[in-house]
């Protein structure tokens, strides 16, 4: 689950020459402004905010919360990392009626990660409100728990447009009593192909609802949505201070989620670090990761919001004096941590807002020293990396996973250093020299063999060096294909692959079990697969929608985690059942529609040969 520690209220500073707000709005200066006490929040919400340690609202919060509490619609133009979640969550919670079980607030988010982040924020801010129920609704999760929660009654629903539309079409989500609707990261939602779903939801919910729209930019489509569905909206423009220190070297590693622990282990072995903070999104992850690192021989411990203050102080002192090397922490737990010995920060889980990224890597490079920041980026988090690059005006350098040879060279070097250091301990070495000399004389064994045996005993069962990595087969071999010259003539023509016009990567044709009779459109296919599989729009090629199925061009070598994520993906309520297409050549454009060339009578179309189709013109 994605933590919302990163979205804590923080003071922001606009750029020196910040453009003025749109007409009728206000441009918010991030100077010392009001406190949370003066914003008009309910007592229970204010108590939760104070318990979290928040004191001064960010610029977007100071301007947005009073307007929302007054009942006005709001358009917030703010970058990721300005504290938007609290800006809408706190006033919504302050106005909830806990005795009404039908959903009163709906928050639409473009991705499941953001939906989970927002949901966790609501839960933290509602910690002192009895009976408030909040439900995340997103694709990739079974319908059962969602249906059970909806039947029991919820107050706030946070979800992705596709899954919300599925529930509306099934009649399992009743929004007739909706009072608040929030569009979070609206521009990203539209970029992912959810424009029609968003408009349908806006049009089918009560007219007297209060709407808050948050977006990093104001393209024409967002402007049109605002004018059509918001009433007398107040526009608020805020820019965050997102500069990163020049003395911090920023790198990132593309890695799948299951590879993270091994990748971190290799980095810890190769990097020359003093002290390190490894950031995760959740409290439970801090404990499990710290345990795994200790099992691998590293001096690591966890620090999170559940750690008592006395234990926290003890841990920080251990980090300072060198008895502890690695701290695995959440954002909240690391707030205010200032230890000069921290040379490295690792974003084990990439934060979902830019301000949190800036705060995290700012834990290193203190007191004029240099620092290193390494971020793990999974395929579905590439958009987060792009957001960081855009808003921090910095370009982290891509790094490669340390090789087996590099790890082994480091291990041997440290082994040598250990011997060198031990030889400096005069009296201790003299004693063991006598012990070894006695053994050599008694057993007539060469001294070098005795030294090797002692090293083996001390090192234990774990091998000193990693085994060489097996050579990865060529791309065509991994796909189970052989070279053209090795094929028998009776095996038919070799399947072709195309190349993405945008990313340049090879594409292959995949089949999904939804088509025209399910009333799907290309935008729904792109939105669902991109959202659930962590793909970009540039990863898609042509799309051919047939009666009972569709053919989609996607990267030819889909990652295992992408396959797994798409196993439970639904479009229009039906599992897509993604599989590689075995029917012939690539999808191609023909007559204004997407069509598929290749063999007739392939496995996709039954045993009977197809009749030639007439080309159709553009409608």
Give residue-wise pLDDT tens across range 285-302.
999 999 999 988 889 999
526 closest CA partner among 503, 506, 502, 542? 542
* Cα–Cα distance, 272 to 344 (Å, whole number): 9
Q: What integer is the mean pLDDT of 201-210?
A: 92
Local confidence band at 28 (pLDDT 50, 70, 90 cut-offs): very low
Specify the pLDDT at position 240.
55
Work out the mean pLDDT of the chain and round it to a whole number. 77
Per-residue pLDDT of 83-110, as tens digits, reads: 788 999 999 999 999 899 899 999 999 8
3-state helix, strand, coil in the chain (%, to 5): 40, 15, 45
7, pLDDT greater than 80: no
573, pLDDT greater than 90: no
- Which architecture, in CATH terms, is 248-401? 3-Layer(aba) Sandwich (3.40)
C-beta of residue 369 within 8 angstroms of C-beta of residue 247: yes
336, pLDDT greater than 70: no
* Cα–Cα distance, 467 to 252 (Å, whole number): 25
The sheet that has 210-215: what strands, in order across it? Answer: 26-27, 234-238, 74-78, 210-215, 180-183, 105-108, 156-159, 134-137
591, pLDDT greater than 60: no
Specify the pLDDT at position 583.
62
Residue ranges of the chain that CATH labels 3.40.50.300: 5-238, 248-401
Task: Give 550's strand partners.
Answer: 512, 545
Residue ranges of the chain that CATH labels 3.30.70.330: 497-596
R_g over Cα of the chain? 29
Lowest-confidence region among 218-227, 456-465, 558-567: 456-465
Q: For the chain, how far is it from start to end, CA to CA, in angstroms?
A: 45
135, pLDDT greater than 80: yes
* Residue 4: other Cβ atoms inside 10 A: 27
Q: What integer is the mean pLDDT of 589-610?
A: 34
Residue 594 backbone dihedrals phi, psi, to 5 degrees: -75, 130
Per-residue pLDDT of 41-73, as tens digits, reads: 999 999 999 888 777 888 889 999 999 999 999
Specify the pLDDT at position 548.
85
DSSP secondary structure letter of residue 208:
T
Specify the pLDDT at position 13.
32
Local confidence band at 484 (pLDDT 50, 70, 90 cut-offs): very low
Specify the pLDDT at position 374.
96
* Cα–Cα distance, 558 to 533 (Å, whole number): 9
Which CATH number does 5-238 carry?
3.40.50.300
Helices (H), 522-606: 522-533, 560-566
DSSP secondary structure letter of residue 615:
P
Q: What integer is the mean pLDDT of 111-115?
A: 79
134 closest CA partner among 143, 573, 43, 146? 146
Q: What integer is the mean pLDDT of 465-480?
A: 46
1, pLDDT greater than 60: no
Exposure on the CB side of residue 291, measured as CA atoms within 13 A: 6
C-beta of residue 555 within 8 angstroms of C-beta of residue 541: no
Q: Coil, strand, or helix at residue 614?
A: coil
* C-alpha of 172 from chain center: 28
512, pLDDT greater than 80: yes
| This prediction's pTM | 0.46
Local confidence band at 112 (pLDDT 50, 70, 90 cut-offs): confident
Q: Which range is most confident: 93-97, 504-508, 614-618? A: 93-97
Q: What integer is the mean pLDDT of 608-619?
A: 37
Q: What integer is the mean pLDDT of 111-118?
A: 81
610, pLDDT greater than 70: no
Specify the pLDDT at position 8.
34
The fold of 497-596 is Alpha-Beta Plaits (3.30.70)
Lowest-confidence region among 167-181, 202-216, 330-344, 519-533: 330-344
Local confidence band at 16 (pLDDT 50, 70, 90 cut-offs): very low
User: Could you please report the per-residue DSSP string of 371-407?
Assistant: EEEEEEE-GGGHHHHHHHHHHH---PEE-PPPPHHHH
DSSP secondary structure letter of residue 45:
H
524, pLDDT greater than 90: no
Q: What integer is the mean pLDDT of 333-340?
A: 73
């Amino acid at each position: 689950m994605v933590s919302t520690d990163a979205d804590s209220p923080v003071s922001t500073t606009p750029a020196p020459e910040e453009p003025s707000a749109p007409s009728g709005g206000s441009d918010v200066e991030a100077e010392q402004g009001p406190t949370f006490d003066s914003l008009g929040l309910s007592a229970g919400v204010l108590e939760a905010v104070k318990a979290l340690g928040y004191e001064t609202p960010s610029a977007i919060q100071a301007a947005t919360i009073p307007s929302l509490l007054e009942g006005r619609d709001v358009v917030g133009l703010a970058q990721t990392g300005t504290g938007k979640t609290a800006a809408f969550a706190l006033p919504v919670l302050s106005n909830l009626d806990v005795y009404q079980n039908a959903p009163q607030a709906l928050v639409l988010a473009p991705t499941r990660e953001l939906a989970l982040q927002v949901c966790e924020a609501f839960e933290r801010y509602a910690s002192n409100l009895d009976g408030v129920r909040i439900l995340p609704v997103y694709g990739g999760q079974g319908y059962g728990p969602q249906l059970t929660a909806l039947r029991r009654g919820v107050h706030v629903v946070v979800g992705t447009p596709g899954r919300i539309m599925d529930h509306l079409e099934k009649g399992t989500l009743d929004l007739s009593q909706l009072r608040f609707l929030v569009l979070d990261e609206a521009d990203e939602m539209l970029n992912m192909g959810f424009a029609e779903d968003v408009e349908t939801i806006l049009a089918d919910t009560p007219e007297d609802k209060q709407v808050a729209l948050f977006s990093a930019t104001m393209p024409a489509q967002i402007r049109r949505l605002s004018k059509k569905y918001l009433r007398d909206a107040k526009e608020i423009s805020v820019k965050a201070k997102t500069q990163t220190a020049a003395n911090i070297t920023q790198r990132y590693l593309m890695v799948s989620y299951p590879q993270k622990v091994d990748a971190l282990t290799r980095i810890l072995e190769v990097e020359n670090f003093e002290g390190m903070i490894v950031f995760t999104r959740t409290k439970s992850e801090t404990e499990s990761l710290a345990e795994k690192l200790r099992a691998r021989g590293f001096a690591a411990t966890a620090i999170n919001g559940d750690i008592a203050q006395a234990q926290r102080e003890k841990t920080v002192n251990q980090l300072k004096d060198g008895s502890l090397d690695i701290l695995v922490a959440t954002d909240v737990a690391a707030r205010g941590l200032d230890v000069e010995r921290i040379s490295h920060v690792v974003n084990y889980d990439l934060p979902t807002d830019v301000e949190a990224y800036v705060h995290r890597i700012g834990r290193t490079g203190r007191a004029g020293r240099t620092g290193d920041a390494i971020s793990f980026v999974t395929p579905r988090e590439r958009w987060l990396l792009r957001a960081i690059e855009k808003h921090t005006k910095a370009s982290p350098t891509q790094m490669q996973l340390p090789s087996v040879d590099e790890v082994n060279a480091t291990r041997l070097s440290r082994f040598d250093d250990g011997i060198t250091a031990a030889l400096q301990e005069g009296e201790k070495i003299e004693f063991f020299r006598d012990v070894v000399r006695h053994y050599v004389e008694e057993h007539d064994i060469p001294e070098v063999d005795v030294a090797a045996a002692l090293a083996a005993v001390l090192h234990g069962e774990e091998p000193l060096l990693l085994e060489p990595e097996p050579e990865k087969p060529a791309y065509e071999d991994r796909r189970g294909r052989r070279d053209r010259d090795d094929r028998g003539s009776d095996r038919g023509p070799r399947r072709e692959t195309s190349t993405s016009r945008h990313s340049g990567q090879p594409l292959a044709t995949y089949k999904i079990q939804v088509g025209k009779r399910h009333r799907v459109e290309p935008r729904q296919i792109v939105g669902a697969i991109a959202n659930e599989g962590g793909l970009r729009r540039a990863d898609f090629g042509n799309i051919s929608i047939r009666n009972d199925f569709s053919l989609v061009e996607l990267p030819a070598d889909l990652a295992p985690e992408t396959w797994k994520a798409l196993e439970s993906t639904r479009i229009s309520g039906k599992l897509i059942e993604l599989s590689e297409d075995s029917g012939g050549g690539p999808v191609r454009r023909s007559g204004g529609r997407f069509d598929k060339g290749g063999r007739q009578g392939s496995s996709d179309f039954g045993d009977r040969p197809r009749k030639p189709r007439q080309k159709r013109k553009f409608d």
